[in-house]
Amino acid sequence: MQWIEITITTTEDASDAICEMLSQIGADGIAVSDPYEIARIIEDPDSLAYADEGYIESLGSDVTVKAYFAEFDDGVRLGPKNEEYVDPNGVGMIYGNIADKTMPAKEALKLIEDKLDEIGQFLPVGKGLTGSRYVQDKDWENEWKKDYTSFEISDRVLICPSWEEAHAKEGQIVVKLDPGSAFGTGTHETTSMCAEILDGLVKPEDKILDLGTGSGILAIICDKLGAGHVEAVDIDRLAVDVAVDNCRNNDCSDIDCYTGELKDAKASDYSLIVANIIADIIAAIAPDVPSRLAPGGRFVCSGIINTKKDKVEKALAEAGFTIVEKHEKNDWMAYVCTLTD
């Protein structure tokens, strides 16, 4: 067996979607180098990070995603590693999964290029697949850890990778997460906006649904902020499995993680529903959200690229929502909504 490292040069807008796609088709490891995130850390007045003059400019504007796949004698291993997750028809999957199988390296690279083209229909993917090479085990096992360190995602929440010791301030809660396993490590604007919103909204009596939970990060934050009950649902069974592990690693096993979508939610009286997904899906589900909210409930939605904000705002208004808060980071929007009286 040997390992193939593939390099994708992309944009900040598309990097999380690409990581999710690579995870769904079976990448054994994913590493992301995001110059925008590095710049934000360095420029944060509360950060202890330091860089020489001109360093930030030297980073350029491309986000680099590297993924690692195992290659055996019969080809590159793709697809879920557990038959439980195989959906031959790709039904319900964001990008469509594939059955566990192997294929020649050239065909595997072509598959990745095709998936990038699909993502490119709704997000700017940039240059796309820019290289591939064979690497030794030791080259990639720790490569993906280099650019992922502890960071404050909100005033009270510190995200910390599992291999680091957390140095939290007084009153901060710590969420342990590893990148490369499922969508949602907290570094993207869509997730950080949700975390900041939840930091100010979550109350002990809240009954919360995290719709499209990915890694479980927002559900874990809600639980650690003291919510009374938290459910985490995702259409991707593999993501749910990852969320369960992350919940367990954060001593949040009381979070109810399960596979499904909004129609599969277990209650109709949530005081808060949070959906960090994509604009088109938020617009599509908006009419069905009110029936799942308790009186006075709130709907937090993020993952909205600003070029589609009008579509989402129109759908929310038609569903009976009033947007009470608008948050914006770079090209992304997040809303806090209540039902119009």
Contact 272, 202 (CB under 8 A): yes
Query: Which pLDDT tens digit goes with each residue over 105-149?
Result: 899 999 999 999 999 998 999 999 999 998 866 555 555 566 666
**Does the pLDDT at position 68 exceed 80?**
yes
Domain ranges of the chain: 2-145, 188-339
Residue 163 makes CB contacts below 8 A (sequence gap 6+) with 145
Count the neighbouring beta carbons within 10 Å of the beta carbon of residue 181.
22
Query: Which pLDDT tens digit goes with each residue over 17-27?
Result: 898 888 778 88
What CATH homologous superfamily does 188-339 map to? Vaccinia Virus protein VP39 (3.40.50.150)
**Does the pLDDT at position 293 exceed 80?**
yes
Side chain identity, residue 279 = A
Per-residue model confidence (pLDDT) at position 140 = 53
Query: In the chain, pLDDT over 70 holds for what percent of residues?
Result: 79
Contact 320, 295 (CB under 8 A): no
Query: Which pLDDT tens digit goes with each residue over 154-188?
Result: 888 888 877 777 777 787 888 887 654 445 555 67
Q: In the chain, which residue ranges form alpha helices assigned H by DSSP?
A: 12-24, 35-43, 55-58, 105-119, 137-141, 189-201, 217-224, 237-249, 279-285, 309-318
**Does the pLDDT at position 201 exceed 70?**
yes
61 band by pLDDT with thresholds 50, 70 and 90: confident
Helix axes 217-224, 189-201, angle to 10 degrees: 20
Higher pLDDT, 51 or 12: 12
Query: Which pLDDT tens digit goes with each residue over 273-290?
Result: 999 988 888 999 999 999
Round the average pLDDT of the chain to a whole number and report it.
Answer: 82
Q: Alpha carbon of 33 to those of 163, 210, 288, 310, 320: distances in Å?
A: 19, 27, 38, 31, 41
DSSP string, 121-164: TTS--TTEEEEEEEE-HHHHHTGGGTT---EESSSSEEEE-TTS
Query: What b/e sequence results for 21-57 when a residue is b if at least 16 CB atoms lie within 10 Å of its CB, and e otherwise?
Result: bbbbbbbbbbbbbbbbbbebbeeeeeeeeeeeeeebe
Q: Alpha carbon of 180 to those of 3, 31, 67, 184, 243: distances in Å?
A: 16, 7, 9, 9, 13
Per-residue model confidence (pLDDT) at position 131 = 92
Count the neighbouring beta carbons within 10 Å of the beta carbon of residue 78.
21
Q: Give the residue-averaged pLDDT of 304-324.
A: 94
85 band by pLDDT with thresholds 50, 70 and 90: very low
Higher pLDDT, 3 or 315: 315
